[in-house]
């Protein structure tokens, strides 16, 4: 079978399309015939040896796939060969087939296209668990979403609205802000042209944001800390801006601020009930038409490196997906 393989931890440019042996499922596992795979910024981290759970080369990147079950390992219940599934893979999705624990799979609705299935779990799962479970966002609160036109950012906008919040989107440039507005943002701030801290304060009549969703870090985190409301919560989702913030603890004390980290994949192992309930809610919202993945580009497997570099360069909006024949 064909797969995109990482042999050395030097980044996406070192990935190669190769013929590899077909995987076989072990006990409690299923083999999935991959139809589509979502592309994430974290795929670049794992190719550099910088991911929190790091496999040793050779391996394939890819944390989320949509496809059909092609083989069952011993002891698997609840799935049959031919079932359409969404799978959250530890890695390995950039391939024609992948083996994954059955507990990491959910049934994919018949009405959901493969591209939507592959674009769904990481971004919607991350944003929903962050806002619903970790920050406990309430109706009527003000939510600021940084990087609001990106993969996780757009889902945070949509989920924030679904939970009843007023959403302020930040992004770099008018085109990206327009995408965020089309997905429900109430207000927008150009992070390249405006003073983010001042605009958040202005848009909240000086009170500040109740919750900030930050997948960017760097200067935007600093602006968030200085424009958060009393008892506000800042969600640390990632560091797409490249700089990991150092937090002055005295700032947290003054306003009783919570800074909340999120390692969404950890729920699959450490608290799967949260992930299961989150997916139940999200798939119901999807079937009701309340949320929908925004897939901005689809690449073939042989162009997976191009797809990943688009995401790393922050040139994409919404979600980029790899289609696998």
Section 69-86 average pLDDT? 97
Does the pLDDT at position 254 exceed 90?
A: yes
Listed range (109-113, 272-276, 278-282) with the worst mean pLDDT? 272-276
Section 74-99 average pLDDT? 97
Does the pLDDT at position 288 exceed 80?
A: yes
pLDDT at 314: 82
Confidence of residue 243 (pLDDT cuts 50, 70, 90): confident
Q: Alpha-carbon distance 222 to 225, whole Å? A: 5
pLDDT at 269: 84
Indicate the pTM of the whole model: 0.89
Tokens representing residue 93 in the block: 């999705």
pLDDT tens, position by position, 182-234? 999 999 999 999 999 999 999 999 999 999 999 999 999 999 999 999 999 99
Contact 219, 241 (CB under 8 A): yes
Section 38-61 average pLDDT? 94
pLDDT at 315: 85
Section 87-116 average pLDDT? 96
How many residues are given for the chain?
A: 325
Q: Within 10 A of 310 (CB to CB), how many other CB atoms are there?
A: 16
Residue with the larger pLDDT of the pair 12 and 240: 12
Percent of the chain exceeding pLDDT 90 equals 90
Q: DSSP labels for 205-253? A: TTS-EEEEEESS-THHHHHHHTSEEEEEEEEE---TTS------HHHHH
pLDDT at 164: 98
Percent of the chain exceeding pLDDT 70 equals 100
Q: Alpha-carbon distance 157 to 165, whole Å? A: 9
């Amino acid at each position: 079978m064909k797969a995109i393989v990482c042999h050395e931890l030097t980044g996406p440019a070192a990935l190669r399309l190769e013929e590899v042996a077909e995987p076989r499922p072990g006990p409690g596992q299923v083999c999935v015939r991959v139809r589509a795979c979502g592309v994430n910024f974290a795929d670049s981290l794992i190719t550099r040896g910088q991911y929190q759970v790091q496999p040793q080369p050779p391996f394939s990147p890819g944390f989320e796939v949509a496809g059909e079950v092609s083989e069952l390992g011993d002891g698997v219940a609840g799935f049959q060969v031919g079932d359409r599934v969404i799978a959250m893979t530890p890695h390995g999705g950039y391939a024609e087939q992948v083996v994954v624990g059955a507990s990491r799979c959910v049934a994919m609705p018949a009405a959901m296209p493969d591209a939507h299935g592959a674009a769904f779990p990481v971004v919607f799962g991350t944003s929903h668990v962050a806002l619903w479970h970790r920050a406990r966002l309430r109706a009527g609160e003000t939510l600021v979403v940084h990087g609001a036109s990106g993969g996780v950012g757009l889902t945070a906008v949509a989920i924030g609205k679904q939970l009843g919040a007023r959403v302020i989107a930040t992004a770099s440039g008018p085109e990206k802000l327009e995408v965020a507005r089309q997905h429900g943002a109430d207000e927008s701030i150009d992070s390249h042209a405006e003073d983010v801290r001042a605009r958040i304060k202005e848009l909240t009549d000086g009170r500040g944001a109740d919750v900030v969703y930050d997948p960017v870090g760097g200067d935007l985190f600093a602006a968030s800390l200085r424009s958060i409301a009393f008892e506000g919560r800042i969600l640390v989702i990632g560091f797409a801006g490249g700089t990991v913030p150092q937090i002055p603890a005295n700032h947290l004390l003054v306003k009783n601020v919570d800074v909340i980290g999120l390692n969404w994949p950890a729920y699959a192992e450490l608290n799967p009930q949260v992930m299961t309930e989150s997916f139940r809610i999200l798939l119901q919202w999807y079937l009701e038409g309340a949320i929908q993945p925004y897939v901005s580009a689809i690449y073939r497997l042989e162009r997976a490196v191009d797809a990943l570099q688009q995401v790393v360069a922050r040139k994409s909006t919404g979600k980029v997906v790899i289609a696998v024949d």
